[in-house]
């Protein structure tokens, strides 16, 4: 399991605990309290000086190669096939969109393709550095081309031609030569100009903004150093084993160690590189961004502005660690992000979000409760709801012997006692957006709902299996149970949901979970650190939580794009597999009820206005994601944008009217309202969203459909039903 120091002795290896991935597509980090370190770049025509490897880096490379071959969970040798994989991954890391290198450049690199493996085993870093130096030179050439073109003015650019630009070039071919790259970059610049023009900026402001953007990128490229090349090369290498194995440079190691001591001060967001953008992967529960409510998963950051700055700094094309340094800042200071929302129809639709930096407080991550009252004919049902944002524990207070230390299990047990007093008929546990946390808390949480037994299996690279179990025969709640999950439910959440499903202890409702079922350890090197995957989680039924996650018994679609967020969206993710099941009780067999429960759910949702609006949003997002190119014809682009904005506004107003409010007259009015009205809703029915209420309805269906469920009601004997 992840070695996180005395404050985090047991971690389920959640994406939150796995937030420093400096690889091609799994680069993530939580923003912590640090001084702001980057300002807008000024014009700098300095050339990039080729970098060379150091003796310390060569030694670290040899150690990394040995660790990967002999201690990683995935058994994989460094051979000719892997050498080619590293070559491809390295080029993808350096130029994933194929906008800097030409096919001629790549052809010249082919002589190195078969040599990288042998070189990496022996610490010979020159081939990787040669590729890196060439790419940096090509980047500067491209940026010089863009700056020169913009200096001539944007007025003469042709926006009447029927041209298009591909949105994702990663799977396409390299442009054949420099002339073809010039044509591509003219299109890229026209797209950048058009994006700002459609946001009502004038030509002078557009020209100034884009020149500053490209000059900033150029300056940073010219300042690249040996450590940048080594980190890029090593992460292309380690990423071949799995997306959560990565090299931490000495600077990155310092950031990781700060993070794992739970010094979660900043805006509380997990970020990832996404081509030229920095993308939000998830928000830390209880963090400033989560509390503020506007920043969402899959939003892409365009610019960052500090309180004392007049103009924002454009961060398109920046490295992730640079963006992180810019967003970090002192507690109670404010940072303003310009983002492209995940729901935006194209890159022209941005919004500005101001977030006050603060510390993530434990009490804001703690479990909370509510009650849903339902009427079914002559029957009234009271359903308890417990929301668990993360699996937490105050390890410091625990180690100091504080008898009143806070933890997920302790807080949930207390809430269950309150429900017993109130006499609820059933329970809904909401694990949506719960990214995991402390492994032992997930283990103990399962124990609140079963008498005793195994909860999760952990298999290491030597095929040794450790079984964690609940050894307490006491049951805190033995009534009917529904567990809500979604794509952002990960790691410890998946362990809990999987155990509840395997024991037949309750129904899982929602969407497929994240699928993070691996465990990492951080190991020191002579130069930096290596975070390496050493084991996998398996359910008591034998199936892994890796890659597949937990599949719900009753599915409710979600807005999150599963092709962009989730373990199976990451390159080289370890596959799903299974081991032997371990003996465990089966408290209830839902097979006789599940078809009718699904039918009732489908009927209810067919008439549910909230769900119909959600489905419209999902359909619109899917349609947008299927767009592979954008028009560079201004009239066509405006027509497309107007159409998308009208459809978004129609959905927003339909939801507005559903709540008895006046519709918005324009999309801008809606966005302005969202910027101001960010507080959590006070109305109880809004706080208990329709998915939670549907969990209550499914619970009522369970109680109505089969009186056998009475055997696991609060006054029943759960243990007697074990098979």
By 3-state DSSP, what share of the chain in percent is helix, strand and coil, each rounded to 5?
40, 15, 40
Active site residues: 491, 502, 516
CB atoms within 10 A of CB 601: 19
Residue 127 to residues 114, 130, 229, 316, 610: CA-CA distances in angstroms? 11, 5, 11, 29, 57
Q: Mention every residue, 6+ apart, whose C-beta is less than 8 A from residue 676.
A: none
Nearest to 619 by CA among 693, 569, 659, 561: 561
Cα dihedral across residues 562, 567, 571, 577: positive or negative: negative
To which residue do tokens 């493996």 refer?
Answer: 117
CA torsion 424-429-430-433 (nearest 10°) is 160
Q: Residues near 125 by Cβ (< 8 Å), separated by ≥ 6?
A: 53, 57, 58, 61, 119, 230, 233
Are 7 and 260 spatial neighbours (Cβ–Cβ below 8 Å)? yes
* Lookup result for tokens 């807005």: 559
Farthest-apart Cα atoms in the chain, separation? 82
Find out whether 296 and 336 touch, Cβ atoms under 8 Å.
Answer: no
Per-position b or e across 655-686, b if 16+ CB within 10 A of its CB? bbeeeeeeebeebeebbeeeeeeeeeeeeeee
470 pairs with which residues across the strands? 453
Neighbours of 347 (CB within 10 A): 20
């Amino acid at each position: 399991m992840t070695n996180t120091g005395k404050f985090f002795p047991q971690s389920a290896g959640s994406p939150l605990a796995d937030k420093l991935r400096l690889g091609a597509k799994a680069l993530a980090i939580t923003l912590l309290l640090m001084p702001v370190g980057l300002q807008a770049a000024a014009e700098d025509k300095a050339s990039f000086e080729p970098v060379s490897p150091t003796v310390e880096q060569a030694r670290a490379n040899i150690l990394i190669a040995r660790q990967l071959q002999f201690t990683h969970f995935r058994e994989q040798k460094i051979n000719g096939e892997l050498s080619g994989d590293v070559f491809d991954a390295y080029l993808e890391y350096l130029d994933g969109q194929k906008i800097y290198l030409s096919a001629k450049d790549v052809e010249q690199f082919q002589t190195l393709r078969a040599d990288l493996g042998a070189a990496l085993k022996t610490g010979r870093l020159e081939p990787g550095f040669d590729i890196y130096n060439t790419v940096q030179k090509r980047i500067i050439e491209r940026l010089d081309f863009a700056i020169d073109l913009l200096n001539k003015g944007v007025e003469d650019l042709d926006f009447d031609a029927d041209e298009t630009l591909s949105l994702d070039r990663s799977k396409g071919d390299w442009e054949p030569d420099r002339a073809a790259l010039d044509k591509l970059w003219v299109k890229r610049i026209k797209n950048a100009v058009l994006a700002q023009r459609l946001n009502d900026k004038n030509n002078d402001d557009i020209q100034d903004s884009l020149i500053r953007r490209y000059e900033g990128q150029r300056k940073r490229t010219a300042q690249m150093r040996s450590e940048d090349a080594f980190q890029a090369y090593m992460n292309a290498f380690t990423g071949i084993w799995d997306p959560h194995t990565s090299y931490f440079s000495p600077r990155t190691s310092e950031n990781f160690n700060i993070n794992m001591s739970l010094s979660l001060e900043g805006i509380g967001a997990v970020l990832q590189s996404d081509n030229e953008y920095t993308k939000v992967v998830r928000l830390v529960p209880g963090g400033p961004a989560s509390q503020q409510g506007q920043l969402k998963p899959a939003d892409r950051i365009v610019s960052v502005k500090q309180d004392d700055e007049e103009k924002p700094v454009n961060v398109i094309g920046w490295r992730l660690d640079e963006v992180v340094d810019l967003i970090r800042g002192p507690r109670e200071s404010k940072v303003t992000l310009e983002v492209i929302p995940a729901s935006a129809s194209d890159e022209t639709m941005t919004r500005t979000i101001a977030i006050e930096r603060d510390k993530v407080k434990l009490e804001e991550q703690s479990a909370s409760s509510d009650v849903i009252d339902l009427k079914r004919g002559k029957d009234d049902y009271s359903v308890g709801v417990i929301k668990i944002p993360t699996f937490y524990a105050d390890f410091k207070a625990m180690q100091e012997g504080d008898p009143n230390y806070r933890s997920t299990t302790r807080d949930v047990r207390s809430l269950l006692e309150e429900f017993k007093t109130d006499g609820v008929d059933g329970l809904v546990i909401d694990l949506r957006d719960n990214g995991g946390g402390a492994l032992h808390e997930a283990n103990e949480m399962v124990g609140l709902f079963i008498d005793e037994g195994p909860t999760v299996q952990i298999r290491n690279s030597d095929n040794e299996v450790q079984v964690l179990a609940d050894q307490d025969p006491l049951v805190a709640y033995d009534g009917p149970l529904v567990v809500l999950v979604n794509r952002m439910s990960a790691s410890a959440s998946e362990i809990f949901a999987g155990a509840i499903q395997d024991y037949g202890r309750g129904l899982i409702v929602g969407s497929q979970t994240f699928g993070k079922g691996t465990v990492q350890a951080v190991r020191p090197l002579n130069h930096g650190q290596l975070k390496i995957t050493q084991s996998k989680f398996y359910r008591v039924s034998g199936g892994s939580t890796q890659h597949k996650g937990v599949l719900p018994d009753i599915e409710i679609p979600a807005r999150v794009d599963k092709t962009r967020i989730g373990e199976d969206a990451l390159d080289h993710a370890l596959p799903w597999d299974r081991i032997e099941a371990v003996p465990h009780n089966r408290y209830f067999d839902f097979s006789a009820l599940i078809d009718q429960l699904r039918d009732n759910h489908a009927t209810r949702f067919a008439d549910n206005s909230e769900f119909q609006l959600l489905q419209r949003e999902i359909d619109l997002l899917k349609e947008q994601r299927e767009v592979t190119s954008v028009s560079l014809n201004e009239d066509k682009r405006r027509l497309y944008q107007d159409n998308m904005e009208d459809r978004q506004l129609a959905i927003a107003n339909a939801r507005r009217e559903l709540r008895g409010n006046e519709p918005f007259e324009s999309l801008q009015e809606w966005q302005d309202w969202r910027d101001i009205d960010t507080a959590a809703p006070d109305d109880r029915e809004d706080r208990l969203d329709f998915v939670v209420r549907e969990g209550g309805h499914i619970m009522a269906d369970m109680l109505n459909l089969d009186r056998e469920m009475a055997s696991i009601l609060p006054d029943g004997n759960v243990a007697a039903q074990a098979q």
